[in-house]
């Protein structure tokens, strides 16, 4: 009941699209979203351009938008609906974000899911991640006006999720205190600068995985589901605050984090000084969790995966993908 469904509507004419849009807009606000399969230019200024492409498998190498040609060459998967956001500079891609509408998390719920956002290596340190994220949020507010009806969700809110959050570098930022340029990981960017909070896992899958995976790999951000009038006023105000490329300072906007020992979720937790991505209520919680945490503290996602394989908790499948061994005991990850 939490997942929701989407319907694939194909129109041969612009008029047909307008008819469907009118039908969707006639229902109660917040109960339906209309996301056209098309290429949209969200911003174009000073040589920079933000483009959103929505369709079936829009992240395919040919940039498919769900048309028949994409399906015939085998690149598109029916039902794999998503939006790819590209930040271009002089027609060259410098940053990308991919957002899906099919929730593959362990506790699925209605709402778009951010699967990745990253700046190309040679363009990091220019504030491009926050520029791209600003336009991703505007796209969601405008196109995905679907209220989340989960029992634990605030009323009148759109639920945005981020999943498979790792520590891989996606941007660089300038520290205010000393001006040094330092790397920013995906997890740090999502939690510390986008305002996401840890999404507490529930249900059978959360119990089965227990502590065999980092407990802060999924995050959630709630934004108001606004009426047309409210949205127009907000967009007009926000336009004056739109970030510009070139400013490498990221403004902190911290969400709630989870203590990796007692699973308390709060905003004033202590950060592990070694890896800087794990949080605890106090030193006592940190000490109790060290036997588990030391196995992946400061390690890359690839190193954690290799450790899981060595200890029998993960296996490599014939197609090259990986799967957790659900029959394996608690390994302390």
Residue with tokens 């909070």: 197
The verdict on pTM exceeding 0.85 is no
Tens-digit pLDDT profile for residues 189-226? 999 889 898 887 655 555 554 545 556 778 889 998 88
Distance CA 260, CA 277 (A): 11
- Mean pLDDT to the nearest integer, 305-310: 76
Mean pLDDT of 309-333: 62
pLDDT at 328 exceeding the cut of 90: no
Give pLDDT tens digits for 134-188. 999 999 998 887 888 777 777 888 889 998 888 889 999 988 778 888 899 898 8
Number of other residues whose CB lies within 10 A of the CB of residue 229: 8
Asked if 138 and 235 count as a contact pair (C-beta separation under 8 A), the reply is: yes
Cα distance between residue 49 and residue 211, in whole Å: 42
Confidence of residue 329 (pLDDT cuts 50, 70, 90): very low
The reported pLDDT for the residue numbered 72 is: 37
What is the CA 296 to chain-centroid distance, rounded?
22
Q: What percent of the chain has pLDDT over 70?
A: 77
- Give pLDDT, residue 148: 81
**Res 60: pLDDT:** 52
Structure tokens given for 99: 């957002």
Q: Convert the pLDDT of each residue in 12-48 to its tens digit.
A: 888 888 888 888 777 766 777 778 888 999 999 999 9
Angle at 232 between CA 142 and CA 18, to 5 degrees: 50
- Retrieve residue 317's tokens: 């499948």
- Give the tens place of pLDDT for each residue, 230-271: 888 988 888 888 899 998 888 777 778 888 888 888 878 888
Task: Write the pLDDT tens digit of every residue in 220-229.
Answer: 899 988 888 8
Q: How is residue 49 written in tokens? A: 């351009």
Q: To the nearest whole number, what is the mean pLDDT of the chain?
A: 78
- The string of pLDDT tens digits covering residues 92-104 is 999 999 998 866 5
The CA distance from 65 to 317, in Å, is 30
pLDDT at residue 63, as a whole number? 42
Euclidean distance between CA atoms 148 and 234, whole angstroms? 20
Q: How many residues does the chain have?
A: 333
């Amino acid at each position: 009941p939490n997942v929701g469904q989407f319907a694939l509507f194909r129109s041969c004419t612009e008029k047909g699209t307008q008819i469907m849009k009118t039908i969707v807009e006639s229902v109660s606000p917040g109960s339906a979203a209309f996301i056209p399969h098309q290429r949209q230019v969200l911003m174009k200024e000073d040589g920079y351009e933000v483009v959103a492409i929505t369709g079936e498998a829009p992240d395919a190498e040919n940039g498919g938008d769900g048309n028949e040609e994409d399906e015939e060459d085998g690149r598109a998967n029916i039902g794999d609906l998503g939006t790819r956001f590209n930040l271009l500079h002089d027609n060259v891609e410098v940053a990308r974000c991919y957002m899906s509408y099919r929730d593959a998390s362990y506790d699925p719920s209605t709402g778009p899911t951010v699967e990745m956002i990253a700046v190309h290596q040679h363009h990091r340190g220019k504030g491009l991640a926050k520029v791209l994220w600003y336009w991703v949020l505007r796209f969601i507010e405008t196109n995905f006006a679907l209220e989340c009806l989960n029992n634990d969700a605030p009323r009148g809110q759109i639920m945005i999720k981020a999943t498979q959050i790792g520590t891989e570098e996606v941007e660089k930022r300038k520290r205010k205190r000393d001006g040094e340029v330092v790397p920013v990981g995906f997890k740090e960017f999502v939690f510390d600068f986008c305002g996401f909070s840890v999404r507490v896992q529930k249900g059978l899958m959360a119990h089965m995985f227990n502590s065999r995976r980092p407990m802060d790999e999924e995050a959630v951000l709630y934004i108001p589901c606004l009426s047309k009038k409210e949205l127009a006023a907000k967009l007009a105000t926000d336009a004056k605050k739109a970030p510009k490329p070139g400013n490498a300072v990221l403004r902190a906007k911290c969400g709630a984090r989870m203590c990796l020992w007692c699973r308390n979720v709060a905003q004033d937790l202590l950060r592990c000084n070694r890896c800087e991505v794990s949080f605890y209520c106090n030193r006592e919680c940190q000490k109790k969790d060290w036997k588990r945490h030391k196995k992946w503290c400061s390690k890359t996602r690839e190193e954690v995966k290799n450790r899981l394989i060595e200890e029998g908790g993960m296996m490599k499948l014939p197609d090259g993908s990986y799967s957790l061994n659900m029959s394996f005991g608690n390994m302390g990850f």
